[in-house]
Chains A and B, each alone.
Chain A
Amino acid sequence: MEERQSPSPCSSRPSSPRTPPCEMFGSVGIEAVLDQLRIKAMKTGFEFNIMVVGQSGLGKSTMVNTLFKSKVWQSSVPNLELPMPQTLELHSVTHVIEEKGLKLKLTVTDTPGFGDQINNDKCWDPILSYINQQYEKYLQEELLITRQRHIPDTRVHCCVYFVPPTGHCLRPLDIEFLRRLCRTVNVVPVIARADSLTIEEREAFRSRIQQNLKTHCIDVYPQKCFDEDINDRLLNSKIREQIPFAVVGADREHLVNGRCVLGRKTKWGIIEVENMAHCEFLLLRDLLIRSHLQDLKDITHNVHYENYRVLRLNESHMLPRGPGWVNLAPASPGQLMSPGPGKVRKRANKDSREDEC
């Protein structure tokens, strides 16, 4: 057992020691703090913000409905009488869902019109600016003198990108988008409408996509550099082998073998959404909700938000100085969207390593 003494009266804080553990003679009750945490968590509830990006008709809204087993969007089928949106818009909906006494405030942001125009150049700009706006909002709240006890968190924790099932490889639009977004937010790519691919085609497509991602240095969630220990690495490498998941969404129930399952009914059979042999929807759901939700939020808070903060606070030194009062110009979208090659990423927890991509 080691002890560190502060050298002078009321000097600075005791140094963070690497103290070997003390032996306790009996149980003290420190374990009870876990229960305290649990109780506190149940009381305050959770927040989760998810964004779905992809071309129209890929089944984004249906997927969201299937994930949360409810009608998040009022209507899944777009109204065909209205013209297709000419520009990219973002629609956000917030719901509070409750399960077994636990409240989750879910915000889903949809991006209709993405990739639908003839010229899709810079179609990722509105999305990036939306994400940065949320970071900015949080930053402003954090910098206030009188802060709220619990700052409302609207930052996007996860972005699900729908890759159309061409069967070939990633398209230039996909690559451009993924490249830019993976540095700002956690991106999970999925193969949409996977029921149009056979199993062999699916595997080939997946491996080609993985190669493409590697070639272009796109680091999708779960990022390799944030693996803490051996358990995490094992778990995450299994997931990484299967990214992108091939998913099918459905919100209608059908009768199969006497059970009521969610699925799509076609002339040649019923595709069950929750059947691992048919599609990998369960993997996606487990990743997003059951096992890695907290991790998604942590990485957003500790890495992406901190990166944004560093960039933003450093910017103010580069502003032109006038003779009188200095006006802080609002963050213009152009400056923050294409981060320079020197951007660093910080390690979430114990060992901090710097990665440049």
Chain B
Amino acid sequence: MAAFDEVRQLKKEHPRSLTMCGHVGFESLPDQLVDRSIQQGFCFNILCVGETGIGKSTLINTLFNTNFEELESSHFCPCVRLRAQTYELQESNVRLKLTVVNTVGFGDQINKEESYQPIVDYIDDQFEAYLQEELKIKRALFNYHDSRIHVCLYFIAPTGHSLRTLDLLTMKSLDSKVNIIPLIAKADTISKSELQKFKMKLMSELVINGVQIYQFPTDDDTTAKINGAMNGHLPFAVVGSMDEIQVGNKMVKARQYPWGIVQVENENHCDFVKLREMLICTNMEDLREQTHARHYELYRRCKLEEMGFADVGPENKPLSLQETYEAKRHEFYGERQRKEEEMKQMFVQRVKEKEAILKEAERELQAKFEHLKRIHQEERMKLEEKRRMLEEESIAFSKKKATCDLFQSQTFMAAGSSIKKDKDRKKVDGTTVFCDCLSAKERVRLCVSPSRKDLD
């Protein structure tokens, strides 16, 4: 069995340059890279922030020379919403998957405090989705439809004065999350001299308030000059239009007014061509790289630190993500078990308490029942007593009645002869006889009642 030692490597020397004696041929490497990118296709996501009716959709249409069929949004939205639409564009052999996200209802509410929060949340959601995909065990990053916002076009209303508070707040909250390019919309409403002053005022306000807008990169020689010049023209004053008007002998995109024609692609009229140049032709790749390398990494770092991960442990020993994760999981399980125990204890205790209360109630009920029963018994006895007395009275009464009847019949017989005499008188004085009999009865009654009274 070959006992192999630890693998030894020559210490990696600082890479030294090598000169070649002939042509190797790897200058085709960028072409290989480009071919692969063409195969995969490109992806670009634009976020347009601006109030309703400021010309966001028109500008996007004009930028990409297409009619994207956006519906006009109403002014009466209760809160700011974001609407995202994806399109596939193709120019010669380059396929571009363009996603345009529009803010609906921005600046329309009476109370604008919550205006920028939905936008920030949306951007964070896209970062979060990418982070989740990256942290998965089985991931498919090469196939992933990247929805992170690469650039935010911020449309400033052409008041001619200065930035509005809402604009300032929104830009301040977005500047660390996305590349912002501020634009002055509907620039055909400002005259040239006012425009200059407006631009300077805007830029100075942005600088004073520390808003970091996207600076076109000037580190590469080929683009340094043009980018540097463009940096001085920010914010771009743009006009958007898809209507074609005849100017001279050709059709150009323009807006026609009674006093003249504003040509969109004329550098003297507005900065549209500059915007298109900068956004698409020169810096698209850089915008994507900045989003990935700076904004996304910042988000990732903050999110992971928030979750409790760190690169360096308590004694300054490097921690690995997995160790921290395992530790956290262990901690979490322990915590959960403890909580379960607690809950069990509480449950048992509650049950006991409830039982005690119920028992108490039962006893009370029992006592009440007994009491009622007793009362019932007493009542019954009383009633029995009364009934007996009543019965005795009725017996006594019937006896008395019997004796009275007897007495009455005797009196009738005695007074029988007088009755015969009074037979005639009977018809006339029926009542008198009756009264006589009655009076006898009455007498009898009178006799009885005192005896009754005696009894009582």
**Residues on A close to B: CB < 8 A?**
1, 3-6, 8-14, 16-17, 19-34, 36-43, 46, 67-72, 87-102, 104-106, 117, 119-123, 125-126, 129-130, 140, 143-147, 149, 228, 285-286, 289-295, 298, 302, 306, 309-310, 313-314, 316, 319, 321, 325-328, 346, 348-350, 352
How far apart are A292's CB and chain B's nearest CB, in angstroms?
A: 8
Asked whether A68 lies within 8 Å of B87 as measured between CB atoms, the reply is no
A303 to B38 CA separation, bound complex (whole angstroms): 20
Contacts of A90 in B (CB 8 A): 7-9
Asked whether B17 lies within 8 Å of A89 as measured between CB atoms, the reply is no
Asked whether B94 lies within 8 Å of A31 as measured between CB atoms, the reply is yes
Residues 60 to 102 of chain B near chain A (Cβ within 8 Å):
63-66, 68-69, 79-92, 94-97, 99
Lowest 6 CB-CB distances: which A-B pairs, in order? A16-B145, A13-B147, A294-B32, A36-B285, A10-B122, A32-B281
Contacts of A102 in B (CB 8 A): 26-27, 29-30
Q: A29-B277, A36-B285, A41-B33 are in contact. Are A285 and B89 (CB under 8 A)?
A: no
A19 to B40 CA separation, bound complex (whole angstroms): 15
Across the two chains, which residue of chain A brings its CB closest to B40? A349
Q: Which of A95, A99, A119, A126 contacts B7 (CB 8 A)?
A: A126
A272 to B91 CA separation, bound complex (whole angstroms): 46
Asked whether A21 lies within 8 Å of B16 as measured between CB atoms, the reply is no
Asked whether A94 lies within 8 Å of B85 as measured between CB atoms, the reply is no
Contacts of B330 in A (CB 8 A): 321, 325-326
Asked whether A349 lies within 8 Å of B282 as measured between CB atoms, the reply is no
How far apart are A42's CB and chain B's nearest CB, in angstroms?
A: 6
- Asked if B414 lies at the interface with its beta carbon under 8 angstroms from chain A, I say no
- Asked if B39 lies at the interface with its beta carbon under 8 angstroms from chain A, I say yes
Contacts of B311 in A (CB 8 A): 144-146
Interface string of B255-299 (1 = CB under 8 A from A): 000000000000000000000110011111110010001000100
Asked whether A294 lies within 8 Å of B66 as measured between CB atoms, the reply is no
How far apart are B410's CB and chain A's nearest CB, in angstroms?
A: 113
Asked whether B64 lies within 8 Å of A327 as measured between CB atoms, the reply is no
Contacts of A327 in B (CB 8 A): 323
- Asked if B413 lies at the interface with its beta carbon under 8 angstroms from chain A, I say no
Q: Which of A24, A129, A306 contacts B89 (CB 8 A)?
A: A24
Q: Which of A5, A71, A105 contacts B83 (CB 8 A)?
A: A5
Interface stretch (choices B232-240, B301-309, B364-372, B385-393): B301-309
| Sample (26) of A-B pairs whose CB atoms are under 8 Å apart | A4-B86, A6-B82, A9-B82, A17-B86, A19-B87, A21-B89, A27-B65, A28-B63, A29-B281, A30-B94, A34-B94, A43-B220, A46-B29, A87-B5, A90-B7, A90-B8, A91-B10, A97-B20, A98-B17, A99-B20, A104-B26, A140-B320, A145-B311, A306-B138, A346-B140, A348-B142
Across the two chains, which residue of chain A brings its CB closest to B43? A16
A293 to B24 CA separation, bound complex (whole angstroms): 13
Q: Which of A31, A96, A145, A291 is packed against the most chain B CB atoms within 10 Å? A: A145
Q: Which of A46, A145, A291 contacts B309 (CB 8 A)?
A: A145
Asked whether A72 lies within 8 Å of B138 as measured between CB atoms, the reply is no
Q: A39-B220, A87-B5, A294-B32 are in contact. Are A310 and B85 (CB under 8 A)?
A: no
Asked whether A294 lies within 8 Å of B320 as measured between CB atoms, the reply is no
Contacts of A302 in B (CB 8 A): 141-142
Residues 1 to 20 of chain B near chain A (Cβ within 8 Å):
1-5, 7-10, 12-13, 15-20
How far apart are A6's CB and chain B's nearest CB, in angstroms?
A: 5
Asked whether B16 lies within 8 Å of A39 as measured between CB atoms, the reply is no
- Asked if B417 lies at the interface with its beta carbon under 8 angstroms from chain A, I say no
Asked whether A3 lies within 8 Å of B94 as measured between CB atoms, the reply is no
How far apart are B25's CB and chain A's nearest CB, in angstroms?
A: 5
How far apart are B7's CB and chain A's nearest CB, in angstroms?
A: 5
Q: A6-B83, A19-B88, A34-B37 are in contact. Are A289 and B24 (CB under 8 A)?
A: yes
How far apart are A315's CB and chain B's nearest CB, in angstroms?
A: 9
How far apart are A343's CB and chain B's nearest CB, in angstroms?
A: 12
Across the two chains, which residue of chain A brings its CB closest to B138? A310
Asked whether A97 lies within 8 Å of B18 as measured between CB atoms, the reply is yes
How far apart are B259's CB and chain A's nearest CB, in angstroms?
A: 28
How far apart are B443's CB and chain A's nearest CB, in angstroms?
A: 107
Interface string of B181-217 (1 = CB under 8 A from A): 0000000000000000000000000000000000000
A33 to B288 CA separation, bound complex (whole angstroms): 11
Asked whether A99 lies within 8 Å of B283 as measured between CB atoms, the reply is no
Across the two chains, which residue of chain B brings its CB closest to A46? B29
Q: Which of B36, B86, B300 contacts A298 (CB 8 A)?
A: B36
Asked whether B297 lies within 8 Å of A147 as measured between CB atoms, the reply is yes
A27 to B29 CA separation, bound complex (whole angstroms): 28
